Chains A and B, each alone.
Chain A
């Protein structure tokens, strides 16, 4: 694996995690968690764990994103803190 590409992926990972923690709008947090999961999936695949990366991409970026959106839809979209 090219180490520059992995570095870019790690920077993406940290950036997405910080934005997901700090955002006021919870929908932004959900989208950033999906970005986090997708970067993690690419990293897993680049390290040779294709099965783990596949599961992370499908479940982390796909299904949990939808479930979080439904949970936000049921409650309020803004954080209180």
Chain B
């Protein structure tokens, strides 16, 4: 780039848009089991809102939203939620990997148990996808060039 300067219009637009994208991402994750979308799409939307703020405002301001150091543990937690649920269902239910009917939640019919299992899985997938996309951006933009 020739020169980089801060534009108040871009910053204001990104600040106005980012919370709504994040809200829509949460909606997509939590309604993923009976409408289009799911963990991956919702996580990508959450990552898009964070990346919008990172592009618009630079790394100092945007690391207040999601710190650089937090992304790797977040992705690990997402993967652990996924495999933890799957293995719990496998060992306690005595059946296959990710067979939600084996989940040890008392007082739930198998029908609702399956819904709840898919919801937990999608929260894990969303966390992992969001953390991975933001991590890729952070690694690529490491040591910002501005000549």
Contacts and interface: CB of A to CB of B under 8 A. Distances in A.
B36 A69 contact: no
B137 A66 contact: yes
B140 A62 contact: no
Contact of B145 (A51, A59, A63, A73): A73
A51 B106 CA distance: 33
A77 B1 CA distance: 7
B140 A58 contact: no
Interface residues of B, number: 20
SS of A interface (majority): helix
Contact of B136 (A54, A55, A58, A67): A67
Given A63-B48, A67-B140, 20 more contacts: A51-B38, A54-B28, A54-B37, A54-B41, A55-B44, A58-B41, A58-B44, A58-B48, A62-B48, A63-B44, A63-B47, A63-B133, A66-B48, A66-B51, A66-B52, A66-B137, A67-B136, A69-B55, A70-B141, A71-B140
